[in-house]
């Protein structure tokens, strides 16, 4: 600790710039150094181009500029690039960089590129570069708002939403118990061709994050199905990943497998979001933890988890079968099946809250209502 009048030669004045890496020798008490670090850390949250990376207390504080390539991931605690669609109620839909508890408004920074997801993908195809390139060029011009002041929308409006069934052992066992036609599910699970079904078109039956998913009025046994979903372009190229809830009426499907469309497709039978994480951020989608929690009257009544590594088929195989002799729209969502199934005596009720969490993506929350 340096005291006044110690006779030590004064150090030259230094300007702490956020444009370069600095190692600044200073003589400060530990508590003062920590206070300085805290101030700089808070300041970094408001300046998208900086972040306090590390420091050493003894005789120096090291302030390091984050390298531009990973710049976006250091904003306000973000660790992966998460894109969302949102509105504030006073403007049209916007594209944002999602970092809890903030959203960085990319549309405000460059409306020509980030006007909507379609324009963004078109620009990426044109330049042949990852989305990080565009984010890094725009991030210093973004406007930041708190997520509580934004209404999150589906991260993309797909031409179609598809589902895959019987992709986990737990799903196969549950569906066999709900019907007298159990052998058909064994055949699908062991067969070469997966079960694929059309869930929705143009997101007409999909609920935004935070909005109500539904229970059919003629169903007494409806459950949520937490799933990793793949976002595809019209050539079946993977653009990214999101969280999906494939709400299903088990009693209707159990009555007869041919009733599957009625068990799967109805108002509020699906939700996905709240973000898309790009495929270059999630390199191993087959190693992600999935968790689901269901709350009723403020109490957790069900919790379950699984890892995508338990899937019967690789995601690439599901995509391959989906694109065979098929026409995909500009955006397609493919839900990859569930391995979390509540007990047979459980059914969703109006007023429930469903939370689905996937490692590296986030949490999708939806309240429930009965139709």
What pLDDT is attached to residue 271?
98
> In the chain, where does DSSP find H-type helix?
30-46, 106-109, 111-114, 117-127, 131-138, 169-177, 183-190, 250-255, 260-264, 315-323
State residue 53's pLDDT score.
37
CA 174 – CA 185 distance, rounded (Å): 10
What's the length of the chain? 371
Name, in order, each residue with C-beta under 8 angstroms of 364's C-beta and a sequence gap of 6 or more: 209, 243, 244, 245, 271, 272, 273, 274, 355, 356, 357
Nearest CA to 102 out of 142, 140, 74, 144 is that of: 144
User: Would you list the domain boundaries of the chain?
Assistant: 22-66, 70-153, 160-370
Whole-angstrom CA distances from 254 to 2, 53, 198, 259, 362 are 77, 55, 18, 8, 32
3-class DSSP state for residue 328?
A: coil
pLDDT value of position 100 = 85
Residues 159, 333 contacting (CB under 8 angstroms): no
- Bridge partners for 205 per DSSP: none
Residue the block writes with tokens 């939700």:
271
Rounded to 10°, the helix 169-177/183-190 angle is: 160
> What pLDDT, on the 0 to 100 scale, is given for residue 280?
86
Fold classification of 160-370 (topology level)? Fumarylacetoacetate hydrolase; domain 2 (3.90.850)
Helix 117-127 × helix 131-138 angle, to 10°: 110
Output the pLDDT for position 132: 86
Helix (H) or strand (E) holding 197: strand 195-201
The pLDDT, as a whole number, for residue 211 is 98
pLDDT tens over the chain, length 371 residues:
333 333 444 444 333 333 333 334 444 455 555 565 555 555 544 444 333 333 333 333 333 333 333 444 445 445 678 999 999 977 789 999 999 899 999 999 999 999 999 999 999 989 988 888 898 888 888 889 999 999 999 999 999 999 999 999 867 676 667 777 778 888 888 899 999 999 999 999 999 999 999 999 999 999 999 999 999 999 999 999 999 999 999 999 999 999 999 999 999 999 999 999 999 899 899 999 999 999 999 999 999 999 999 999 999 999 999 999 999 999 999 999 999 999 999 999 999 999 999 999 999 999 999 99
CA–CA distance, 167 with 194 (Å, rounded to integer): 8
Give pLDDT, residue 139: 86
Q: Which residues contact 28 (CB under 8 A, 6 or more apart)?
A: 2, 36, 61
CB under 8 Å to 191, separation ≥6 — which residues? none
Q: Which residues have a Cβ under 8 Å from the Cβ of 231 and sit 6 or more positions away?
A: 155, 156, 158, 238, 239, 240, 241, 242, 276, 331, 332, 333
Report yes or no: 231 and 220 within 8 Å, Cβ to Cβ: no
237: which residues sit within 8 A by CB, 6+ positions away? none
Q: Are 209 and 279 in contact (CB under 8 A)?
A: no
């Amino acid at each position: 600790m340096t005291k006044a009048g110690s006779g030590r030669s004064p150090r030259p004045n230094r300007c702490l710039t956020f444009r370069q890496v600095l190692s600044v020798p200073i003589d400060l008490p530990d508590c003062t150094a920590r206070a300085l670090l805290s101030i700089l850390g808070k300041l970094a949250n408001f300046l998208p181009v900086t972040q306090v990376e590390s420091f050493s207390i003894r005789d120096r504080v090291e302030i390091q500029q984050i390298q531009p390539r990973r710049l976006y991931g250091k904003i306000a605690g973000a660790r992966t690039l998460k894109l969302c669609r949102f509105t504030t109620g006073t403007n049209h839909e916007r594209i944002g960089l999602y970092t809890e508890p903030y959203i960085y408004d990319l549309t405000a920074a460059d409306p020509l590129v980030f006007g909507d997801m379609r324009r963004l993908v078109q620009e990426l195809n044109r330049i042949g570069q990852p989305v990080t390139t565009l984010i890094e060029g725009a991030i210093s011009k973004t406007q930041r708002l708190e997520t509580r002041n934004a209404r999150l929308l589906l991260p993309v409006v797909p031409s179609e939403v598809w589902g895959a069934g019987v992709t986990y052992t737990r799903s196969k066992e549950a569906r066999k118990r709900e019907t007298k036609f159990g052998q058909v599910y064994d055949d699908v699970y062991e067969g070469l061709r997966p079960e694929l079904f059309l869930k929705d078109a143009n997101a007409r039956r999909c609920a935004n994050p935070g909005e109500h998913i539904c229970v059919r009025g003629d169903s007494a046994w409806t459950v949520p199905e937490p799933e990793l979903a793949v976002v595809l372009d019209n050539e079946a190229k993977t653009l990214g990943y999101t969280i999906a809830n494939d709400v299903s009426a088990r009693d209707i499907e159990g009555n007869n497998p041919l009733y599957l469309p009625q068990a799967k497709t109805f108002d509020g039978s699906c939700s996905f979001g709240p973000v898309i994480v790009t495929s270059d951020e999630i390199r191993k989608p087959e190693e992600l933890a999935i968790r689901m929690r269901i709350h009723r009257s403020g109490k957790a009544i069900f919790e379950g988890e699984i890892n995508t590594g338990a899937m019967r088929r690789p995601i690439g195989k599901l995509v391959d079968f989906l694109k065979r002799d098929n026409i995909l729209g500009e955006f397609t969502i493919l839900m990859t099946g569930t391995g979390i199934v509540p007990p047979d005596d459980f059914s969703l009720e109006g007023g429930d809250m469903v939370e689905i969490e996937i490692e590296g993506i986030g949490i999708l929350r939806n309240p429930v209502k009965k139709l």
